[in-house]
């Protein structure tokens, strides 16, 4: 059996470990803790309007060397073309095809490649060339090709939709924010009951006019930009401004900006956009734009 000293020590410890909790009276309830309610965010929808390349880009030295090598292999291994089956012997079409085939051979194997011209008299070669030129003129094949460099590139016209035909270009607008000129994409607010992609299309027409053949690629945004992040530590926190970007394409037409809001516009490449917009804006859109 336990002694009286042990029992008294247990009782002392229990009395020290136990704390009396006073009963809460209904007359003095604990007041609820009130937290700051964040202000409603200002949401806008913007359109990254893109004009796709109009012509193929100029191949690099490595690409030209690769294509030339592949052309030589194909011509070295291909079967002879059956001229007798497709052309009448001695006809102008046969003569024209033979001359074009010789040009292709020299283009593939070099200017020193031996052809049948070395075994043909100069008179017959001149007659064949004159006949082929006459046939090409009759068929309308003597028209000169359009240059790969547009007049807008030569005059540095950034408002022309035909500039930089080998590149992706995007529409950028200049407006004033707090007496400061700012470049941005076409954007605007979202009305009640309106979807984001619908607001983006409506705002595009409101700022740039409806004289364009454009469409929004998807209902889902491709990027987001937070202009002023929410800071609840302030006594009166400002509303957060969030911009959702939507990808759009233009086929034809030109913009007619609202001069009361837009002071200037330009069609720019990705590298040119970086020099126009602010750094925070650029960090939000740089991964959306095409490098070429």
**DSSP letter for each residue of 93-131:** HHHHHHHHHHHHHHHHH-TT---GGGGS-HHHHHHHHHH
- Going through the chain in order, the beta strands assigned E by DSSP cover 42-51, 169-176, 181-184, 187-189, 212-216, 223-228, 241-253, 262-268
Residue 118 clears pLDDT 90, i.e. is over it? no
Token pair 């002023």 is at which residue? 228
Q: Across the chain, what does the average pLDDT equal?
A: 82
> What is the model's pLDDT at position 126?
76
How do residues 142-194 score in pLDDT, each as one tens digit? 667 788 888 999 999 999 999 999 999 999 999 988 888 999 999 999 998 89
Collapsing DSSP to helix, strand or coil, 285 comes out as helix
For residue 2, what pLDDT band results from cuts at 50, 70 and 90?
very low
How do residues 204-219 score in pLDDT, each as one tens digit? 999 999 889 999 999 9
Token pair 């954007």 is at which residue? 187
How do residues 224-250 score in pLDDT, each as one tens digit? 998 866 565 666 667 788 999 999 999
Residue 54 DSSP class = S
Pull the structure tokens for residue 240: 């957060």
b (16+ CB within 10 A) / e for 199-231: bbbbbbbebbeeebebebeeeebebebeeeeee
Radius of gyration of the chain (CA): 38
% helix, strand, coil for the chain, step of 5? 35, 20, 45
Answer whether 143's CB lies under 8 Å from 233's CB: no
In this prediction, residues 48-62 reach a mean pLDDT of 93
How do residues 264-280 score in pLDDT, each as one tens digit? 999 999 999 999 999 99
């Amino acid at each position: 059996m336990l002694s009286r000293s042990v029992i008294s020590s247990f009782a002392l410890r229990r009395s020290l470990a136990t704390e009396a909790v006073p009963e809460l009276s209904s007359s003095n309830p604990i007041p609820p803790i009130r937290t700051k309610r964040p202000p409603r965010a200002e949401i806008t929808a913007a359109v990254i309007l893109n004009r796709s390349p109009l012509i193929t880009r100029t191949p690099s030295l490595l690409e030209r060397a690769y294509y030339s090598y592949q052309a030589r292999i194909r011509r070295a291994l291909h079967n002879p073309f059956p001229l007798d089956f497709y052309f009448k012997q001695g006809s102008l079409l046969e003569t024209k095809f033979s001359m074009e085939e010789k040009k292709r051979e020299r283009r593939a194997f070099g200017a020193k490649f031996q052809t049948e011209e070395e075994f043909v008299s100069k008179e017959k070669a001149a007659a064949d060339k004159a006949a082929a030129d006459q046939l090409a003129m009759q068929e309308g094949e003597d028209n000169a090709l359009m240059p790969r460099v547009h007049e807008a590139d030569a005059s540095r016209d950034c408002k022309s939709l035909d500039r930089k035909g080998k590149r992706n270009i995007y529409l950028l607008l200049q407006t004033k924010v707090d007496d400061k000129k700012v470049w941005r994409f076409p954007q605007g607010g979202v009305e009640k009951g309106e979807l984001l992609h619908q607001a983006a299309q409506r705002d595009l027409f409101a700022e740039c006019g409806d004289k364009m053949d454009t469409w929004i690629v998807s209902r889902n945004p491709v990027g987001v930009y937070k202009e002023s992040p929410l800071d609840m530590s302030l006594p009166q926190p400002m509303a957060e401004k969030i911009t959702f970007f939507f990808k759009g394409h233009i086929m034809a037409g030109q913009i007619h900006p609202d001069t009361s809001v837009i002071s200037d516009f330009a069609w720019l490449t990705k590298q040119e956009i970086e020099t126009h917009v602010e750094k925070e804006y650029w960090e939000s859109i740089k991964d959306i734009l095409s490098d070429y």
